[in-house]
Amino acid sequence: MTALSVLDLMMIGEGKTFTDTLDDSVALARHVEAHGYKRYWVAEHHDLPGIASSATTLLVQHLAAATHTLPLERINEAFDLMHEGKSIRTVIKY
């Protein structure tokens, strides 16, 4: 099966705020994760009006925190995901 990915330009739509756009991106990331997509890309553009993705390091951390949560008892699985390059950031909540 072909691995699918999404490229999110994070465009701020008419009548929307940065927060609205961030919320929409979180919803999209969760949706594509639930449907088996393998990658979620965020475009990085600076000084362009209507684009919310100028600080991708922060955005990726926010999106990563909103997706793929594992309980503490599955900590070894989380380390395996990091080792395999399938997780770029892990937050341990206990």
Count of structural domains, the chain: 1
The answer to whether position 77 is within a domain reads no
The answer to whether position 84 is within a domain reads no
- Check residue 65 and report its DSSP letter: H
The answer to whether position 49 is within a domain reads yes
Structural domain range at position 17: 5-69
pLDDT at 53: 83
Helix (H), strand (E) at residue 21? helix 18-34
Place of tokens 């330009």: 9
pLDDT digits (tens, 9 = 90+) for 24-58: 999 999 998 888 887 888 888 888 888 888 888 78
Confidence label for 59 from pLDDT (cuts 50, 70 and 90): confident
